[in-house]
Amino acid sequence: MFYKIGKLCCFLVGMVCMQATAQVRAPKYSNEFLNIGVGGRALGMGNVQSAIANDATAGFWNPAGLLQLTPKHNVVLMHSELFAGIVKNDFASYAAPLDSSSAFAVSLIRTGVDDIADTRNLVNEYGYINYDNIRLFSVADYALLVSYARRSSLIKGLRLGGSAKVIYRNVGQFANAYGFGLDVGAQLERQGWQFGLMAKDITSTFNAWVHNPDEFRDVAVLTGDSLLIKSSVEITLPRLVAGIAHRLQFTDKLGALVAADLDFTFDGRRNVLLGTDVLSIDPHLGLEINYNQLVFMRAGMNNVQQIRNFDYTESWKFQPNFGVGISSNGLKLDLALTRIADTTPTNNFSSNARLSSIIVSLGYSFD
């Protein structure tokens, strides 16, 4: 049994490494809106979900978790705002079991900035400012995920799943891009322990950008920059997430869930806890305490980074997260507070400039 599990893990790791090696020149930070995370529960636990995702958000975190759905219909909606409300991040998902051994989900993500002023025509042909010429546009990223999960008939407790995602990125009337990618995941339960493995963008995700030359023609003539009207291809390299979790039961009504994830990226050194020229490892820790599966308190830690101060000293920082949840009669309300502001006096501007974000998600399960 464990030999078969080992072969599965080696296969996923091998696929990720081959894709990453083949695309070593790709940019590190592509489709980053898909790394923000979804769901109040997950974000309150520091994005620790690969081993424990068990609701409609599993289509995003690990589609294998869709097999833990119990009612026939499951819906999750989420809204969050970043950078003092400038960036809106929204998520909606519907999931349902197909039978005792399979389930599916459809999820939609939108991250965008709206009402951006286009001031190219602010000054008219006579040299006067005309505010009526200002037009507003939006910059938004969309992802549609269609997920499927099936229980393994060979290994007891093993769940397998995959998600096909279609990406659409839009910069007003100036440019847009279409992309396609695949994620695969697995979950395994053994004696109170839960294990998860998620390979994102396992085939590499390609975004094909198309620019509107008519919108840039006048600017290109003035600046002589021909790059403004060229199309391009953006590649998102594979990422591997390995997770482990364990449930603790203190009394009949009081229990806890302790979980951890490790994010493995293969696109060069990143500012994470452990980084090399080939591999970077970013840890996440999460804790969830529940009372009678009715009230939940959550905490998490992620984004461990080394910061260089103005006096050239270096210090380690991490992002704390907190959350609460209520679940009753199929209705779940989850709130999370992330990117907690650091008010400690320091000579590093970035540590004082972080703004807290509030995430609200609502889920409903029914037959």
CATH classification of the domain holding 41: 2.40.160.40
Kindly report the pTM of this predicted structure: 0.84
Q: Which of 100-109, 265-274, 354-363 has the lowest mean pLDDT?
A: 354-363
216-238 pLDDT tens trace: 676 666 666 665 556 788 889 99
Indicate the pLDDT class of residue 144, thresholds 50, 70 and 90. Answer: very high
pLDDT at 127 over 70: yes
pLDDT at 57 over 90: yes
**Angle CA(120)–CA(125)–CA(131) in degrees, nearest 5?**
50
Over residues 352-366, mean pLDDT: 79
Provide the token pair at 21: 């090696």
Q: What would you report as the CA-atom Rg of the chain, rounded to the nearest whole angstrom?
A: 22
pLDDT value for 192: 84
For the chain, how many structural domains are there in total? 1
Over residues 190-218, mean pLDDT: 87
Cα torsion through 21, 36, 336, 290, rounded to 10: -30
Q: Which of 28-32, 98-102, 160-164, 292-296 has the lowest mean pLDDT?
A: 28-32
Q: What does the alpha-carbon distance between residue 104 and residue 94 come to, in Å, rounded to a whole number?
A: 9
Coil, strand or helix at 54: coil
Q: Which of 172-176, 179-183, 289-293 has the lowest mean pLDDT?
A: 172-176
pLDDT at 350 over 50: no
Indicate the pLDDT class of residue 24, thresholds 50, 70 and 90. Answer: very low
Provide the token pair at 143: 């992802």
The per-residue pLDDT of the chain, averaged, comes to: 86
Could you give the percent of the chain with pLDDT greater than 70? 84
Determine contact, residues 303/319, Cβ cutoff 8 Å: yes
Q: Which of 21-25, 151-155, 220-224 reaches the highest mean pLDDT?
A: 151-155
pLDDT at 61 over 60: yes
Over residues 97-116, mean pLDDT: 95
Task: Give residue 278's domain range.
Answer: 2-366
C-alpha closest to that of 45 among 68, 59, 65, 61 = 61
Distance of CA 112 to the CA centre of its chain: 14
289-312 pLDDT tens trace: 999 999 999 999 999 988 888 888
For residue 104, the tally of other CB atoms under 10 A from its CB is 19
Over residues 127-156, mean pLDDT: 92
